[in-house]
Amino acid sequence: DAGVIQSPRHEVTEMGQEVTLRCKPISGHDYLFWYRQTMMRGLELLIYFNNNVPIDDSGMPEDRFSAKMPNASFSTLKIQPSEPRDSAVYFCASSSWGGRDETQYFGPGTRLLVL
Amino acid sequence: AQSVSQHNHHVILSEAASLELGCNYSYGGTVNLFWYVQYPGQHLQLLLKYFSGDPLVKGIKGFEAEFIKSKFSFNLRKPSVQWSDTAEYFCAVNARRNNRLAFGKGNQVVVIP
C-alpha cells in the first residue's frame, strides 16, 4: 500500500484566498483524521471521520474551516478565507478499528504558508 | 478525556549516550499507547506501540518502551543514540473505547556527533 497520500505537499497563498487540502487514506481504513501542527500549539486534532461521517469536529478552529469525506478514499480540508495564522503543517491520518492493528498512520503533510 | 504529559521538551545529548523520555497519561481505563517519531521536515512515523501483553515493547531502530500500569507511564528508551536519532518524539494514548488519540507536546531530541 502507498500509505496515506496528501496533496499538495506545499502551499503558499495570500490572505483571503481559499485553500483546499486533500487526503487519500490507506485502503480499507474506516477512520480518517485531520491534524494541524504548529510550533506554538503542537499537534492538534481538528476533525475525524468514521465511515465517511464526521464524528468529532470540536477541534476545528472556526467556521472558516470545513472538512468533507465524500467517499472512503478521499477527504478535503478547506479554509476559506485563509489567514496568516492558519500557517501550519496539516496532517491527515487513517486507521482501522476493531481489528488487529488500530494504529493511526500519518501522511506526509501539507505545509501551508498564508502571506 | 485522556491527556498525555511529556517532560523535558528539549533534550541534547552526545552520540552513544543513553536516552530516556518520560510519558505519563491520565485515564483510568484500558488504553493503547504509542510513540511516534518525526524527523526534521518529515511526517510522524510509528516507532512502537503497546496494546496488550508483554509490557516491555521493542520498536524500530533499537528503541523500546515499558508500560507501567500502576504509574500510568510509557517511557521510551534507547541505550545508545546515534546522530540520526535527532528528531521530535511524541507519546500518544487512546482509550480502547474510541479511536481518538491524545498526543503529548513532544520531546525535541538533538544528538551531537
pLDDT digits (tens, 9 = 90+) for B38-91: 999 888 999 999 998 999 999 999 999 999 999 999 999 999 999 999 999 999
CB A34 within 8 A of CB A41: no
CB B57 within 8 A of CB B50: yes
- Chain A interface mutation, best of B47, B52, B99, highest count of A Cβ atoms under 10 Å: B99
Cell of A23: 487526503
pLDDT tens string A19-36:
999 999 999 999 999 999
Residue B50 to residues A70, B2, B53, B59, B85, Cα–Cα distance (Å): 33, 16, 8, 10, 21
Of A56, A105, A106, the CB nearest to B100: A56
pLDDT of amino acid A70: 97
* Residue B74: Cβ-neighbour burial (10 angstroms; 0-12, 13-18, 19+): buried
- Chain B interface mutation, best of A104, A105, A110, A111, highest count of B Cβ atoms under 10 Å: A104
A56–B contact, CB cutoff 8 A: yes
**Cβ separation of A105 and B46 shorter than 8 Å?**
yes
Cell of A32: 480518517
Write out chain B residues lying below 8 Å of A42, CB-based: 103, 105-106
pLDDT grade, residue B1 (50/70/90)?
A: low
